[in-house]
């Protein structure tokens, strides 16, 4: 009996220590956070008055290389920079747009503070970058001259992938299930010419490129839905650059609210199907 009574204080003491460990860990983390360097990303852009943005050299309609109509995302980041009183410096990177994985672009913090021109909000991207909320969505799209549903197609179909990382294998399986054998063409212009002269009944390509091809032509573009994936696009920032991200996000909110986003999209043939309106949550 005496031995059991002596053991009780030891058990209570051990229990009290175990309770203290989580509390001590929290205090240690809070103290450690106080030694982290401050986020000066927005202040650094303010001090130079210049925002450097990494973008692909050519990815229509987001980046076109045309000085008169430079592209949807070129105009968008220019609008952001103008409203914040910054000069815009575009840093072109040929690897962007060929792959959705930003780790393959070989871009670093010394080159730019922001990334645009086709930043897909995937788990891979967001493990590497902080991003804004989506403002565009894309995926595989059908281009037709007669507003046909893809399940009603009987004739030949053209295919041009464009500079994307979309799932070509999944698309191929889907088209075969519909009994379609697409003819691969080597350029966006070849796809448009085949459509215009009736050599193919419809075309399939990446959605944003399809909208760009159909702009100013009597063609209909429809984003294909499940079982094919759609991808949301936003703007990218280096991890931890929260102050810059928040400032750009707030400016994007104003660009949406006053209708400027829709005006820029209209200039590049991007209708509401492609826009991720935050009020309507169209890409949720």
- What phi and psi, each to the nearest 5 degrees, are found at residue 136? -140, 160
Average pLDDT of span 118-133: 88
Report the pLDDT value the prediction gives residue 24, as an integer from 0 to 100: 63
Report the pLDDT value the prediction gives residue 219, as an integer from 0 to 100: 84
Q: For tokens 């944003």, name the residue.
A: 208
Average pLDDT of span 258-276: 93
CA 157/CA 59 separation, integer angstroms: 23
CA 167/CA 228 separation, integer angstroms: 8
Token digits of residue 252 = 């994007």
Any bridge partners for residue 138, and if so which?
Answer: 231
CA 223/CA 206 separation, integer angstroms: 9
* One-character DSSP codes across 33-65: HTTSPP--HHHHHHHHTEEEEEE-S-BTTTB--
Is the pTM value of this prediction over 0.75?
yes
Average pLDDT of span 145-171: 82
DSSP conformation class of 268: T
Confidence bin at 243 (pLDDT 50/70/90): very high
More confident residue, 175 or 165: 175
Confidence bin at 101 (pLDDT 50/70/90): low
Token digits of residue 118 = 């086709």
**Upper half-sphere CA count for residue 237 (Cβ side, 13 Å):** 20
Average pLDDT of span 92-97: 81
DSSP conformation class of 132: P
Q: Judging by DSSP bridges, how do beta strands 50-55 and 157-160 pair with one another?
A: unpaired
Residues 140/230, Cβ–Cβ less than 8 Å: no
- Asked whether residue 6 carries a pLDDT value surpassing 60, the answer given is no
Any bridge partners for residue 50, and if so which?
Answer: 87
CA 88/CA 79 separation, integer angstroms: 9
């Amino acid at each position: 009996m005496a031995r059991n009574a002596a053991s009780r204080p030891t058990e209570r003491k051990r229990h009290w220590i175990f309770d203290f460990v989580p509390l001590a860990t929290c205090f240690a983390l809070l103290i450690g956070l106080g030694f982290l360097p401050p986020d000066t990303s927005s202040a650094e852009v303010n001090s130079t008055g210049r925002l450097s943005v990494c973008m692909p050299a050519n990815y229509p309609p987001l980046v076109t290389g045309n000085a008169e109509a430079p592209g949807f995302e070129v105009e968008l980041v220019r609008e952001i920079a103008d409203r914040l009183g910054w000069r815009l410096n575009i840093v072109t990177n040929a690897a962007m747009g060929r792959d959705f994985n930003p780790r393959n672009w070989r871009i670093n913090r010394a080159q730019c503070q922001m990334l645009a021109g086709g930043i897909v909000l995937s788990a891979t991207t967001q493990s590497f970058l902080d991003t804004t909320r989506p403002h565009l969505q894309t995926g595989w799209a059908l281009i037709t001259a007669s507003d046909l549903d893809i399940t009603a197609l009987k004739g030949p179909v053209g295919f041009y992938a464009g500079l994307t990382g979309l799932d070509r294998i999944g698309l191929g399986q889907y088209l075969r299930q519909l009994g379609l054998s697409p003819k691969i063409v080597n350029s966006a212009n070849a796809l448009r010419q085949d459509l215009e002269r009736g050599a193919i009944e419809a075309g399939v390509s990446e959605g944003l490129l399809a909208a760009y091809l159909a702009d100013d032509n009597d063609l209909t573009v429809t984003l294909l839905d499940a079982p094919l994936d759609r991808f949301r696009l936003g703007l990218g920032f280096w991890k931890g650059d929260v102050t810059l991200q928040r400032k750009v996000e707030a400016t994007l909110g104003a660009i949406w609210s006053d209708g400027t986003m829709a005006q820029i999209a209209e200039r590049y043939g991007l209708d509401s199907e492609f826009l991720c309106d935050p009020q309507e949550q169209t890409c949720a």
